[in-house]
Structure 1
Amino acid sequence: MGAPMARRLVAAGHKVTTWRRGTGVSAAEAVDGAELVITMLSDPGAVREVLTAALPGLRAGATVVEMSTIGPEAVHELRALLPASVGLVDAPVLGSVGPATDGTLTVLAGGDLAGFREVLEVFGSVRELGPLGAGAAMKIAVMSALVPAQVLLAETFAYGAAHGVDRDALVGVLSGTPLGTLAERLRVPSAETRYSLAHAAKDLELGAWEGATMAAAARTRLQQARAAGLGERDLTAIADHTGESGASPVAGHAGESGSRPVARAVPLNVATIPATNGMYSHAVRAGDLLYVSGQAAFDEQGNIVGAGSMTAQAEHVFEVIARILADQGATFGDIAFIRTYLTDMDARAEYGAVRRRYITGTPPASTTVEVSKLFMPGLLLEVDLIVALPG
């Protein structure tokens, strides 16, 4: 996306410096002296990493235009990261590489565009949606409808195939409905990656909330496809992947004999919390059970959050747990077992006070133990879970 967008800026007469991670030039050198800094990256962690590295080069009075899809919470975290003298606008886009090349993207903008709206119009039509974060929220809201709709159609194709329904005929019938355009897009999965399946899964992870049951089911389907190695394929690949998993033409009923589906372990890594080191996953789903790795109080840069404070570290841990649960459509009431490691059992009252704010009602099964130290100096607790996911 960034390359064709940069070409359009150059063609419009702007002086442009392009930069990507892994080059010999630092991010700070790349933004040095720039009036406008545009980011187009994969996820919240990448944006935070790049802008943190760019901070020394950002001049007072510059404006950062964040055009990635990272959600409103991450946008407000960026506002806290950037100096007050640097402006920030969130402006994610609707459209893929083709519209980026043609200048027909839809730019969803939040914040004050005074003085540079015409720059964004180089990319396509600009919709000013309100204060900072409004554009990011709108993008997630839109994708929370468009992505599950495509997963639903993939399952529709799978059902049709299992019952002898020709896919072209099915698309022909659907063409007369509001789903016609999407059905045509999925008829033959794209060989070119316009919107990757991994990015679609990430967008639904960013939009996870407790009541989003349909989006949660679509997210799980995409996470399974991503775990099967389809992350870099176009989202439309979900049609063939779903078809391969099959849809039995004979529906089973409670009490009937027959084999049960085998529960596969599906690793889950949530975009809204600090990334793992590659040696573990945030959680693993197996059937209706979710096994959550030990969560501790550190940020994207690996720094301790709430150093020396059991209360602050416990609050951070439970906020991270809340995001993992929401990603799978679960709540704290679905926790079956919780295990806590404390470096000082005398601080258990502080920990317990925080825990009771999150886990109310009948408590889950629980174990709390004291340990001499945890994996990172300065950590005071670590919490892991087993969750019974809603049916």
Structure 2
Amino acid sequence: MIAFLGQGRMGVPMARRLERAGHKVTTWRRGTGVTAASAVEGAGLVITMLRDPAAVREVLAAALPGLRPGATVVEMSTIGPEEVRGLRSLLPPEVRLVDAPVLGSVGPAAEGALTVLAGGDVSGCREVLEVLGTVRECGPLGAGAAMKLAVMSALVPAQVLVAETLAYGTAHGVDRAALLEVLAGTPLGPVAERLREPARETRYALGLAAKDLDLAAWPGATLATAAHRRLREAEAAGLGERDLTAVAGHVEGGRDPVAGERRAVPLNPATVPATNGMYSHAVRVGDMLYVSGQAAFDERGRLVGEGSMTEQAEHVFRCLGEILADQGAGFGDIAFLRTYLTDMDDRVEYGQVRRKYITGTPPASTTVEVSKLFMPGLLLEVDAIVALPS
């Protein structure tokens, strides 16, 4: 059995690919009420595909009680070689570890056309990895992670460079289409083609690209450092969840190239259960974030923690935390918090959970009792207004 930890943009199509190949796959994501330890019980192979090093450490630490001796953990996130070595120290000696980050986006993940950059002994998991794409053995443990960052430290700055080239052309009256045609005949042609039109579907999030360059930072990386600064500026402008190609419009005109001049930028982090399509989890306007009411339901729309205020409140605050972290904020940045309870007698139990997450001086807040919420069984809903860090 394979336990696949992480069901974001890349994790979902990868897990489905494995299932269609005939493997028994158990999937896990945050906020479902299922522990990582229970998700990995009995699994001979555990795959992690998570956002960043902190998430990988947290999830694997939580999974430790369920890992069986002799299991293999395949870490496929982009976290860097130092973090991989840290994971080796975290895991028991009887649990094998392979690092296998990938090159490719959502489309190749669904088609099994990724390039898997493997570090360590892949003899026990190569057949599974080949379902996802072409496996390239890079060397000992950590070599795959190092190869991934080395590649991204070239590819990402190249896209920022072409974005700046297009901005230069615009500022000097150069026809954009003509410039792209000329670039098409140079080694930068494939990169220029990618930036011809911003992708409306996020394949490789701009915020993740910024994270990758942050991991790849070293004193001699002058071009990558400048590109990283550009991406962080675009992320602060609300483009973190857009595809990396959005950097072209940001550099050229300081705007969201998909939404045009729209100042309200909807945000739906992949780490939070999806909405029903009638609202966004949050909307960013400048340095303010308006968070929709968060309630205790999972990615399939099922109630979490039926009858338990503590379980539902924990789920709600975890979702709030994911949304805040997506924009580089924390609970201390909340300016206003509003809570709807179906029974005011539950406020003490709710308050105990709230104080775990909101410490120090509390934000402005309102708590009201309502007769019912939008889903039967919900005991509370919480929305917020957040002042984002500059």
Structure 1 length as normaliser, TM-score?
A: 0.63
Q: CA deviation at 1:141?
A: 0.2
Q: CA deviation at 1:35?
A: 0.1
- 2:147 corresponds, among 133, 138, 142, to 138
- 1:283-304 residue CA offsets vs partner (Å, 9 max, x unmatched): xxxxxxxxxxxxxxxxxxxxxx
Q: CA deviation at 1:279?
A: 3.7
- 1:226 corresponds, among 227, 235, 249, to 235
- 2:159 corresponds, among 147, 150, 174, to 150
* Structure with max Cα Rg: 1
Aligned length: 255
Q: CA deviation at 1:276?
A: 7.8
* Match of residue 315 from structure 2: none
User: Which whole-Å CA distance do the structure 1 matches of 2:332 and 2:253 have between them?
Assistant: 30
Q: CA deviation at 1:243?
A: 0.5
Amino acid at match of 1:207: A
- Preserved contact between residue 91 and residue 108 of structure 1 (Cα < 8 Å): yes
User: Which whole-Å CA distance do the structure 1 matches of 2:135 and 2:76 have between them?
Assistant: 12
- Preserved contact between residue 111 and residue 134 of structure 1 (Cα < 8 Å): yes
- 1:164 corresponds, among 170, 173, 194, to 173
Amino acid at match of 1:230: L
* Match of residue 226 from structure 2: 217
Backbone CA RMSD of aligned residues: 1.8
Show the 5 A alignment for 1:158-307: 158-245=167-254, 277=330, 279=332
User: Which whole-Å CA distance do the structure 1 matches of 2:72 and 2:124 have between them?
Assistant: 10
User: Which whole-Å CA distance do the structure 2 matches of 1:245 and 1:33 have between them?
Assistant: 51
- 1:100 corresponds, among 102, 109, 131, to 109
* Match of residue 114 from structure 1: 123
SS in 1 for 2:50: coil
- Preserved contact between residue 154 and residue 238 of structure 1 (Cα < 8 Å): yes
- 1:13 corresponds, among 22, 25, 50, to 22
SS in 2 for 1:17: strand
Question: Is 1:83 the equivalent of 2:92?
Answer: yes
Structure 2: segments with no counterpart, 5+ residues: 1-9, 256-286, 288-327, 334-359, 361-390
- Preserved contact between residue 63 and residue 86 of structure 1 (Cα < 8 Å): yes
Q: CA deviation at 1:116?
A: 1.8
- Preserved contact between residue 167 and residue 187 of structure 1 (Cα < 8 Å): no
- Preserved contact between residue 66 and residue 88 of structure 1 (Cα < 8 Å): yes
Q: CA deviation at 1:11?
A: 1.1
* Match of residue 42 from structure 1: 51
Q: CA deviation at 1:115?
A: 2.2
* Match of residue 338 from structure 2: none
Q: CA deviation at 1:168?
A: 1.2
User: Which whole-Å CA distance do the structure 2 matches of 1:276 and 1:181 have between them?
Assistant: 35
**Structure 1 segments (4+ residues) deviating >2 Å:** 275-280
- 1:231-259 residue CA offsets vs partner (Å, 9 max, x unmatched): 0000000000000149xxxxxxxxxxxxx
User: Which whole-Å CA distance do the structure 1 matches of 2:12 and 2:236 have between them?
Assistant: 28
Show the 5 A alignment for 1:336-355: none
SS in 2 for 1:182: helix
SS in 2 for 1:189: coil
- 1:349-370 residue CA offsets vs partner (Å, 9 max, x unmatched): xxxxxxxxxxxxxxxxxxxxxx
SS in 2 for 1:108: strand
User: Which whole-Å CA distance do the structure 2 matches of 1:32 and 1:56 have between them?
Assistant: 9
Structure 1: segments with no counterpart, 5+ residues: 247-264, 266-274, 281-374, 376-391
- 2:132 corresponds, among 123, 141, 145, to 123
